[in-house]
């Protein structure tokens, strides 16, 4: 048993097991939805707080797993993160990513069809693991200061999003440094 404070990566036999579980999940989905799905590349290059990620980059789909989180919580991730990411892949193949919400009704139905509970996040102790921290930017409303992540800040700067305070409902405005 690995200690909670160890900093180890998922080993090669475990990677093979995760790849096989991913493939089995995709085969099960193909049978359930009577569709043929290709096997996207499975990578163990994710860092940060997320255990897994399905992404399409320049038209190429991939399922990425966090090797540190998988090493520490292997069984849990094998049973929960693998179907979670496969469900995103299946939703993309059936409906397209732009037409549905990330964890919307379609994703939840695919999760249930795969025999998994549609949980969005897991709460793991990440002490000692490399995690990515996003820069935060101060924004104000009528009642308080908010800290927006760099992703949200960039969306505001590009005019793609506006955020509002949950307390007063006023639009958030960048606080100049």
Lay out the sheet containing 136-140: strands in order across: 145-149, 136-140, 173-174
Is 85 one of the annotated active-site residues of the chain?
Answer: yes
Q: How is residue 96 written in tokens?
A: 């397209």
Please tell me whether residue 117 adopts helix, strand or coil conformation: coil
Bridge partners (DSSP) listed for residue 56: 61
Q: How is residue 53 written in tokens?
A: 């990620």
> Annotated catalytic residue: which of 80, 85, 170, 175?
85
Bridge partners (DSSP) listed for residue 148: 137
Please tell me whether residue 167 adopts helix, strand or coil conformation: coil
Catalytic residue positions? 85
């Amino acid at each position: 048993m690995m200690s909670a404070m160890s900093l180890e990566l998922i080993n090669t036999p475990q990677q093979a097991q995760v790849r096989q579980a991913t493939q089995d999940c995709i085969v099960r989905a193909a049978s359930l939805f009577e569709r043929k799905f290709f096997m996207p590349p499975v990578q163990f290059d994710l860092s940060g707080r997320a255990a897994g990620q399905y992404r399409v980059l320049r038209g190429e789909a991939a399922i990425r797993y966090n090797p540190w989180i998988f090493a520490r919580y292997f069984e849990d991730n094998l049973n929960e993160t693998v179907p979670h990411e496969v469900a995103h892949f299946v939703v993309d193949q059936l409906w397209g990513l732009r037409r549905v919400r990330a964890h919307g009704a379609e994703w939840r139905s695919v999760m249930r069809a795969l025999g998994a509970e549609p949980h969005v996040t897991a709460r793991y102790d990440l002490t000692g693991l490399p995690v990515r921290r996003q820069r935060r930017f101060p924004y104000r409303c009528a009642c308080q200061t908010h800290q927006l992540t760099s992703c949200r800040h960039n969306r505001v700067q590009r005019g793609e999003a506006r955020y509002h305070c949950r307390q007063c409902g006023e639009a958030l405005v960048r606080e100049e440094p």
